[in-house]
Amino acid sequence: MSILVYAEHDNASLKPVTLNVVAAAKAIAEKAGGEIHVLVAGSGCGAAAEEAAKIEGVAKVLKADSAEYEAKLAENVAPLLVKLAEGYDYLLAPTTTGGRNVLPRAAALLDVQGISDISGVEDADTFVRPIYAGNALATVQSSDAKKLITVRGTAFDAVAAEGGSATVEEVGAEGDAGLSSFVGQELTKSERPELTSARVIVSGGRGMQSGENFAMLERIADKLGAAVGASRAAVDAGFVPNDYQVGQTGKVVAPELYIAVGISGAIQHLAGMKDSKVIVAINKDEEAPMFQVADYGLVADLFQAVPELEAELDKG
């Protein structure tokens, strides 16, 4: 019984969520036994593969280094997963736009019902996953011989990035499916930490009123070493880019501290952040549902409270 983890990376380095997926793999290995291998598929991805080889608990790294994996198009990556799946009982990927795009495609080709976004491992074939925006937790048992699973990163504590010494083995590429091609990317550039791995998040909602006003939150974020997030309403209004969205249909986060500013606390938003350790709500409406989950609530006008907060943090 062995487990293959599909690594998320940008060829040069691994995305931190890969460490959480390996943690889920360890939880499965405790029930089912077997080795944990990591697949790094990309183009010029040697550095990412080397990094994967150092992860604690990883026995082997498979490197598929070829031009057709450069953009990680699902049409090209899925056949590779299908070929490699012969040797594995489990295929795991993070519940990211990368993992969710490719894993179901591979699952269908293998005639397997994939299991999305697991937050717990009960047994070798039994997993817990949130449904209905996290308002219910389903325990599901799979009868498929192979299990293809996406993992909710925030539900599993990352394993150590160092300490392992896995061998790196090259695997052959499967060719270009010729169905799709990559045109370009507009990635949000930021010196701040990534939302899904940040220790502190400062998030703004419709109450912020404009994109310019988010500068107030950015200054707070920089003082706290935090990432900046947003509600769907703030993204829809064009205040901030789409990748800021926290929630059921955006990113799921669980930082040590989540500061929600001018966010009402709709169930779809709560679905993405209610597992944060400490939640702060700043809202002028004392009835806002966000206060029902907040550890510390401040009923105030944000245009007063946020500058005050900045000044208070400056005091050190």
Partner 1 sequence: MKVLVAVKRVIDAYVKVRVKSDGSGVETQNVKMSMNPFCEIAVEEAVRLKEAGVATEIVAVSCGPQQSQETIRTALAMGADRGILVQSDEALEPLGIAKLLKAVVDKEQPELVLLGKQAVDNDFGQTGQMLSALLGWSQATYASKIEKADGELTVTREIDGGLETVKVKLPAIVTADLRLNEPRYASLPNIMKAKKKPIDALTPDELGVDVAPRLSVLKVAEPPARQAGVKVGSVAELVDKLKNEAKVI
The interface partner of residue 264, options being partner 1, ligand FAD, none and the CB cut-off 5 to 8 Å by kind, is ligand FAD
Of 4-12, 145-153, 179-187, 239-247, the window that binds ligand FAD (rule: CB under 6 A) is 239-247
Q: Considering only residues 195-234, where is the footprint of ligand FAD by CB under 6 A?
A: 205-207, 231-234
Shortest Cβ contact with ligand FAD: which residue? 247
Least distance (Å) between residue 306 CB and partner 1: 9
Calculate the CA 79 to chain-centre distance.
23
Shortest Å distance, C-beta 28 to partner 1: 16
With CB under 5 to 8 Å by kind, the binding choice for 297 among ligand FAD, partner 1, none is partner 1
Give which of partner 1, ligand FAD, none residue 184 binds (C-beta under 5 to 8 Å, depending on kind). Answer: partner 1
Size of the site for ligand FAD (CB under 6 A): 29
Residues 131-190 binding ligand FAD (CB under 6 A) are 138, 140
Q: In angstroms, how far is CA 279 from the centroid of its own chain?
A: 20
Reduced to 3 states (helix: H, G, I; strand: E, B; else coil), residue 82 is helix
- Would you count residue 15 as binding ligand FAD (CB under 6 A)? no
d(CA 302, CA 314): 18
Residues 6+ apart with CB under 8 A from 33: 1
Touching ligand FAD, residues 294-313 (CB under 6 A): 301-303
What whole-number distance in Å separates Cα of residue 169 and Cα of residue 29?
Answer: 21
281 interacts with ligand FAD by CB under 6 A: no
In sequence order, the β-bridge partners of residue 280 are 259, 296
Q: Which is nearer to partner 1, 24 or 58 (CB)?
A: 24
Region of residue 151 (left: phi > 0; alpha: psi -120 to 50; beta: else)? beta
Is 288 one of the binding residues for ligand FAD (CB under 6 A)? yes
In sequence order, what are the residues at sequence separation of 6 or more whose Cβ sits closer than 8 angstroms to the Cβ of residue 289? 264, 265, 266, 270
Q: Which two tokens stand for residue 186?
A: 């507009």
CA 123 – CA 102 distance, rounded (Å) = 25
Position 277, amino acid: K
**Chain positions contacting ligand FAD, by CB under 6 A:** 138, 140, 205-207, 231-234, 245-250, 262-264, 266, 268-269, 272, 283-285, 288, 301-303
